[in-house]
Amino acid sequence: MKLCILGSTGSIGTQALQSAENLGIRVGALAAGSNYRLLEEQCRRFGAERAYIGERYYSHLKTALADTATKVVTGEDALDTFGADTDCDTVLNALTGIRGLRPTVHTLRAGKTLALANKETLVAGGSVVMPLAEKGILPVDSEHSAIFQCIQGQVRPKKLILTASGGPFFGKDRAFLEKVTPADALKHPNWSMGSKVTIDSATMMNKGLELIEAMHLFGVSEDKIEVIIHRESIIHSMVVMEDNAVIGQMGVPDMRLCIQYALTYPERYPSLSEELDLARVGTLSFYAPDGDSFPLLPLARYAARRGGTAPAVMNGANEAAVELFLQGRLSFTGISDVVIKVTTEHTPLCDPDIEQIETADREARDRVLQLAQTM
């Protein structure tokens, strides 16, 4: 195997490189947006033949790697085709947000194996992506990896159960949430993740995005997916079979486990993850999600039922709202307020192509900025 990582300096990317090094997987190409210093270190350590960096940092990285054989490229179009244009046979898409959509499409069209950690790709563009996935997509998110592992050798399950940690504000009401700061929201109890996905976990939008992603990956309808709060993050997800047997996948909350399975599927090898000690864990708890305090999960179900461009609008609005919250320009509860308004006022376009999806995304972001100025 020869691996290309899109988003190599982020949380998933850095852990993927740890796993690749542990497994002796060759790394041929690495892409990042702005962290050129870390990208330089990665290129040197793994002997990457190609590197992508955002245009603002291109000259810095090119100069830094001038004494190596690494070819440095930049530009929006270059990122779209970066994975497809390499001689790597596997591409891990760990980009953040809808920016990962076009690289996913080009990777699949090139016939390469896609390991997907960019859930927004399927949320916004699942109807465009899935017809291209003749060889399937290897899921990297812990929940989808768990379901993927549970259904190996099984007939189609009766129902999927996505587990959610509940984030840092489990059990809190809206009055409490109105006072939440970005620093508060970035303190996830179990997982170490990037800022955007950590905020999504705090609002429960992350689970809504994962619900729509699961619909595309596993070919099930919204009503066949249950979400349950599991505070310990030990059971990563479950499937219910026709006879009501429940099969779950467990492990310590360590993304390297599901990253490695995507890279080595269908084989398993020793990993960097700790072995699960159930006696030390002691108790596993489960709760129904609170749709009143965390209304973005019910909104995701609404968008999933509406279909067309509705999920893309919801996703784009959420990305914009989270960015405003992190900048201190929108309250925590303001995230759900504006995302709900933008999504529910949108009239979905059925069977959109990629350009129409991107247009819907841009319009949703613009609408969020407009609404935020009045709040």
The pTM for the full model equals 0.95
Same domain for 17 and 75?
yes
Q: With cut-offs at 50, 70 and 90, classify the pLDDT of residue 155.
A: confident
Q: Which amino acid is at 356?
A: Q
Cβ–Cβ under 8 Å, residues 354 and 108: no
Same domain for 156 and 266?
yes
- Identify the domain boundary among 140, 169, 184: 140
- Identify the domain boundary among 91, 121, 140: 140
- Look at residue 135 in the predicted model and tell me its pLDDT: 86
CATH code of residue 374: 1.10.1740.10
* Residue 86: inside a domain: yes
* Residue 302: inside a domain: no
- Containing structural domain, residue 121: 2-140
Location of structure tokens 């929940």: 143
- Look at residue 238 in the predicted model and tell me its pLDDT: 98
Cβ–Cβ under 8 Å, residues 48 and 4: no
Closest C-alpha among 192, 305, 303 to residue 256: 192
- Look at residue 188 in the predicted model and tell me its pLDDT: 81
Same domain for 120 and 28?
yes
* Residue 301: inside a domain: no
Same domain for 89 and 209?
no
Cβ–Cβ under 8 Å, residues 264 and 288: no
Q: Residue 310 belongs to what H/E stretch?
A: helix 310-326
Same domain for 133 and 172?
no
Q: With cut-offs at 50, 70 and 90, classify the pLDDT of residue 351.
A: very high
Mean pLDDT across the chain: 96
Give 98-109 pLDDT, tens digit per residue: 999 999 999 999
* Residue 16: inside a domain: yes
CB atoms within 10 A of CB 223: 10
Same domain for 74 and 117?
yes
| HSE toward the beta carbon, residue 31, CA cutoff 13 A | 30
Q: With cut-offs at 50, 70 and 90, classify the pLDDT of residue 156.
A: confident
- Identify the domain boundary among 79, 110, 140: 140
Same domain for 46 and 157?
no
The Cα–Cα gap between 57 and 48 comes to 18
Give 294-338 pLDDT, tens digit per residue: 999 999 999 999 999 999 999 999 999 999 999 999 999 999 999
* Residue 39: inside a domain: yes
The Cα–Cα gap between 314 and 316 comes to 6
Q: Is residue 187 predicted with pLDDT exceeding 90?
A: no
Q: With cut-offs at 50, 70 and 90, classify the pLDDT of residue 216.
A: very high
* Residue 300: inside a domain: no
- Look at residue 57 in the predicted model and tell me its pLDDT: 98
CATH code of residue 124: 3.40.50.720
Give 195-213 pLDDT, tens digit per residue: 999 999 999 999 999 999 9
Give 241-285 pLDDT, tens digit per residue: 999 999 999 999 999 999 999 999 999 999 999 999 999 999 999
Which phi and psi (to 5°) does residue 236 adopt? -85, -20
- Look at residue 374 in the predicted model and tell me its pLDDT: 87
Domain tally, the chain: 3
Give 10-51 pLDDT, tens digit per residue: 999 999 999 999 999 999 999 999 999 999 999 999 999 999
Same domain for 136 and 153?
no
Same domain for 230 and 284?
yes
Same domain for 131 and 184?
no
* Residue 347: inside a domain: yes
Same domain for 60 and 133?
yes
Give 46-105 pLDDT, tens digit per residue: 999 999 999 999 999 999 999 999 999 999 999 999 999 999 999 999 999 999 999 999
Cβ–Cβ under 8 Å, residues 165 and 191: yes
Q: Which residues of 65-95 are buried (b: 16+ CB within 10 A; e: fewer)?
A: beeeebebbbeeebbbbbbbbbebebbbbbb
Same domain for 132 and 149?
no
* Residue 198: inside a domain: yes
